[in-house]
Each structure stands twice: as C-alpha cells, then as structure tokens.
Amino acid sequence: MTELAGMNPQELRAWCAENGLPAFRGKQLFQWIHRGADFDGMSNLPKPLREQLAQIAVAQPVRVAHEVRSQLDGTVKFLFSLTDGNCVEGVLMRYHHGCTLCISTQVGCRMGCAFCASTLNGCVRSLTAGEMLGQILCANRYLAAHATPDEEERFLRVHNVVLMGSGEPLDNYDNVMRFLRLLREEDGVNISLRNVSLSTCGLVPQMYSLAEEGLPVTLSVSLHAPNDALRRELMPIARTYSMEQVIAACRNYVEKTGRRVIFEYALTDEKNCEPRHAEELARRLRGLQCHVNLIPLNPVKERGLKGVTEEQVKAFLSVLEREHISATRRREMGDDIEGACGQLRRRYLEENRLP
C-alpha cells in the first residue's frame, strides 16, 4: 500500500499518471488529504475511483487511538496509532495566539537521555513525513469536531508545531526535512516554518546541515547542563559531541539563519539546579543570540531523578537574568494527564503487555 500523505502535489500528480489516472487528480488528492479526509470523504472523486484508491493506497496513515484532556488547562494528549500497529504521542496546547501541537518524529528514541520516558524502550523505527503530517491532521479533525459555534479561527486548526515528542528529529533527518517542506505547501496545511520549533539533543553534523537548508525553523537544543562532565551524566550524546562543539553549531545556525537558538534546560534536584550551575551556564552562553527555557523536571519513575521546588527555579532564573541571559520558566501544561513525552505511550504498552 502506498502512503500518499508524505507526497507533495507534483509527486501525487506523477503517482496518478503512473496508475492510469488523470494528473489533475493529484492536486485533488493533496487537498483532501491535508483537510484530513480519507478516500470515502473525497466527495468530488467518483465512487469507483475512491474504492480503487482504497485498495492500493493509504490517505491517512495516523489515527487517534486514545485521547486525554486536561481539566486544568484544556491540553489534550493523543496516543496516535500507525498502520503497522505502533503508536506515538502528541500534545495539543491552546495558547492565546492559537493552537500548538507537539509531535513525535520516531517510535521511541535511541538517544538514552536520563530524564526521558520516550527512550526507555529504545527506538523501534523512524516516522515517515506522512506520519508526522498525519498527527497534525488528526489534531485538526479534533479541533473541528470540538469547536463551539463562535470559536475564533485561530483555535480551529494547528498554527504552531514543535518537534519535541518522542524521537530525535535530526536522527530522522531526511523524513523531517520532507515533512517541513510539506507544511508550507499553500494547498496543504500551509503552516509557516517560522511557527515551527525543532528540538535536538545536539547531533552536531546534522545541526550544520539544517543551517544550510534555508528553512526558517527555530532550533531548540536540549542542553540540560552547564558543562561536559555533568551533561555526560544526563545525556549519552555528550560523549560524542562536546558542549563546545554544540555551542559552535548553534553560533553557526544563528549566523546562517538570523534566528536565535532556544536552549532547553530541565532543572533536576541535586544535579544541575544550583546558582553556581546558572552562573556557569551564563558564562558559556554569553554573546550568543539565544534564550534559555527552564523546565522543572517532570519525574519519570523508572529514572529516579527528582524535580525541583519553585524556589529553586526562581533562584536559577534570577542568576540568568542578573547575567543578562534571556530566560523564562516554561509554562507547565497537561500536568494532570502525564504531559511529559513518552509517559502515556509507556503506560499503554505496559497495560497491553506490548514490547
């Protein structure tokens, strides 16, 4: 079965021609797919054609297997099922400026970061561009189905995307690049790449490659430590690429794209949360066009790491502000629905006794 969601309009026209269909059907398929329709909902296609397509292709490679809605802030966590039986997570967050969806790029993750639940079972496989897009299409269907009669347009579909769910996006480089280019197609979901954030644990060669792509996405780097020794305790990737190499790649990204880099820093008790750590971090980042996003750790029971108090967060933030490093405490959303990536999927696998 051919997955159509990962194709651009030109590729769909070519696919139609290869299968004996008029080329104009490719544009129709592209538009319907990006509206979240399956073949049976493509009303301007003849019924025999829709039945024929369903025998040879897949229009929507992602379905919602389970959803949980926060009673605190309306955040929705999805468990998405894929056609091969695997599942990934996504989180839909509502802000004043519109809706943001956090998507996954791999089934699991092989990076092994000490604070993350996504990596506990390793990486099963990478997602296709169509499966990444499919998560957005599922969220758009959800928003349309739950819209009130007077809902404002910015809350009717996803406007912002963050690649921060399970998986390392730059470990799935080619599929992620294809996905990003699909996002900005005018006849598709048409999301500006300036509204996209891509998170990496620091795959340095791919960071340099991304800077050359001409795609104005925000690069978000998981740093989580002010020095190599501490970072190696938390992130295995730090044994391959030093902080000096990561920061150099970030400087290159700023120079090439003109966009500031975001550094994610998960505050972990007895590890990286003391004022001296903040001072060291400030020294390392000084002069770099960047912003630090402080994240109070959401503990994962299998990892044994502990979260921090609000006082610890404020003290760390105060040091960065004093040192003139742009920083904020990330707004916590979905706390009552296991908002951290990997937790819902892991519980689902355990309950269903899946590997």
Q: What pLDDT sits at residue 134?
A: 98
- Identify the three-state secondary structure at position 147: coil
- Identify the three-state secondary structure at position 171: helix
pLDDT above 60 for 341: no
CB 239 within 8 A of CB 232: yes
Angle CA(207)–CA(208)–CA(210) in degrees, nearest 5? 65
Can you name the residues that pair with 94 across neighbouring β-strands?
99
Question: Of 208, 190, 322, which Cα lies nearest the Cα of 255?
Answer: 208
Listed in sequence order, the residues at least 6 apart from 69 whose beta carbon sits closer than 8 Å to its beta carbon are 75, 76, 77, 337
Report the percentage of the chain scoring pLDDT > 90.
82
Question: Of 176, 107, 100, 104, which Cα lies nearest the Cα of 139?
Answer: 100
Q: What pLDDT sits at residue 352?
A: 56
CA–CA gap between residue 90 and residue 162 (Å, rounded):
10
Residues annotated catalytic, as ranges: 89, 341
Residue that has been written with the tokens 């060669």 in this structure: 205
Q: How confident is the model over 21-37, as a mean pLDDT? A: 97
Indicate the DSSP class of residue 335.
Answer: G
- Place 68 in a pLDDT band, splitting at 50, 70 and 90: very high
- Identify the three-state secondary structure at position 125: strand
CA–CA gap between residue 343 and residue 73 (Å, rounded):
19
Angle CA(180)–CA(185)–CA(190) in degrees, nearest 5? 85
pLDDT above 70 for 111: yes
Q: What pLDDT sits at residue 348?
A: 56
Q: What pLDDT sits at residue 337?
A: 60
Q: What pLDDT sits at residue 350?
A: 53
- Per-residue model confidence as pLDDT tens digits over 241-284: 999 999 999 999 999 999 999 999 999 998 899 999 999 999 99
Give me the amino acid identity at 97: H
Residue that has been written with the tokens 């897949």 in this structure: 58
Higher pLDDT, 151 or 77: 77
pLDDT above 80 for 349: no
Higher pLDDT, 115 or 106: 106
Q: In this predicted structure, which of 29-33, 150-154, 189-193 has the lowest mean pLDDT? A: 150-154
CA–CA gap between residue 290 and residue 204 (Å, rounded):
17
- Per-residue model confidence as pLDDT tens digits over 134-144: 999 999 999 99
The token duo for 205 is 């060669």
Q: What pLDDT sits at residue 176?
A: 98
CB 132 within 8 A of CB 179: yes
Residue that has been written with the tokens 């998560």 in this structure: 135
CB 21 within 8 A of CB 2: no
CA–CA gap between residue 112 and residue 91 (Å, rounded):
21
CB 6 within 8 A of CB 178: yes
CB 166 within 8 A of CB 131: no
CA–CA gap between residue 231 and residue 238 (Å, rounded):
6
Give me the amino acid identity at 278: A
Listed in sequence order, the residues at least 6 apart from 1 whose beta carbon sits closer than 8 Å to its beta carbon are 56, 57, 58, 83
pLDDT above 90 for 298: no
Q: What pLDDT sits at residue 119?
A: 82
Q: What pLDDT sits at residue 300?
A: 57
Can you name the residues that pair with 98 across neighbouring β-strands?
95
pLDDT above 70 for 113: yes
Q: What pLDDT sits at residue 304?
A: 66
pLDDT above 70 for 186: yes
The token duo for 119 is 């990596």
pLDDT above 70 for 345: no
Flag whether the pTM goes above 0.85: yes
Can you name the residues that pair with 265 across neighbouring β-strands?
294
Q: What pLDDT sits at residue 189?
A: 97
Which ranges in 185-300 belong to alpha helices (H)?
A: 204-211, 228-234, 243-257, 275-285
The token duo for 288 is 């770099």
Q: How confident is the model over 72-96, as a mean pLDDT? A: 95
Domains in the chain and their CATH numbers?
2-58 (1.10.150.530), 62-351 (3.20.20.70)
Listed in sequence order, the residues at least 6 apart from 251 whose beta carbon sits closer than 8 Å to its beta carbon are 288
Length of the chain: 355
Q: What pLDDT sits at residue 151?
A: 85
